[in-house]
Amino acid sequence: MQKLSEYVPPKVWKWEKENNINRFSNINRPISGATSDKDLPKGVHPIQLYSLGTPNGQKVTIMLEELLEAGHADAEYDAWLINIMERDQFSTGFVGINPNSKIPAMVDYSNENDPQRVFESGSILFYLAEKFECFFPKERKARTEAMSWLMWQMGSGPILGGGFGHFYAYAPFKIEYAVDRFSMEVKRQLDVLDKQLENNEFIIGNELTIADFAIYPWYGAMARGLLYKAGDFLEVETYTHLSRWAKQLSKRPAFKKGSIVNRSWGSEKGIKERHSASDFKGKV
């Protein structure tokens, strides 16, 4: 067993920049608000998305592409890159639509005189589902089930991302206790999903919903061994029903497109911005 640290928390915590040695240290700080004066760009479509192709950003772009595939022409959108490593999330323009300075955030200009800002990925999915009356059951019981799974993901995601992902993949040194703690939680979550999908094609049955859009970018990527390169470590292939669901969704054209929007890193092809369907030419 790894020797426990002798670190003792001080009476009052102070933020010391020199202690933030992780490569993602620049994207967070202990206070809110803008640090730079910069307006956000605006395209030609009513829906303007400001995001990054991380799992939280992919939730929204996957749904928008599915809406377009379903024939909702009004779901056309402009997706602008928010480079969190360059602190774009702390500009006055972005803070104006998301005071929490996290991607994704969206503005719907359908009513030019009263545009609607929406932040938090789950809230954006719910907003789009209501706006287009799509991917959200009308029957109360099924609707409640979809919302329960959406909230499940929103509550569970930080364990997979900020917890497991940070300590397993990004922390400057490995802490056995932290890795064990979050690995246990993530494997429980994977098991929850595997059992739910044993007798369901999609998360809540035979109907694709916002629950699938929310869960796939995180847990679908993990089930396919793409997240944190932790597939072997977590034995993701043992979750057979979850793996079947993840592979099935990964083949859908809208999921392929939505997964590469606002992504400009890594070996896989991505597009920095998205303004029309032609932007995907040669990419998917």
Quickly state the pLDDT bin for 269 (edges 50, 70, 90): confident
CATH number given to 47-135+262-280: 3.40.30.10
Outline which parts of the chain fall under CATH 1.20.1050.10. 140-250
Q: What is the reported pLDDT for 22? A: 64
pLDDT digits (tens, 9 = 90+) for 141-183: 999 999 999 999 999 999 999 999 999 999 989 999 999 999 9
The whole-angstrom separation of Cα 260 and Cα 254 is 10
264 Cβ contact list (under 8 Å, min separation 6): 53, 81, 270, 271, 272
Does residue 243 register a pLDDT over 60?
A: yes
* Fold (topology level) of 140-250: Glutathione S-transferase Yfyf (Class Pi); Chain A, domain 2 (1.20.1050)
This prediction's pTM: 0.95
Outline which parts of the chain fall under CATH 3.40.30.10. 47-135+262-280
The whole-angstrom separation of Cα 129 and Cα 106 is 14
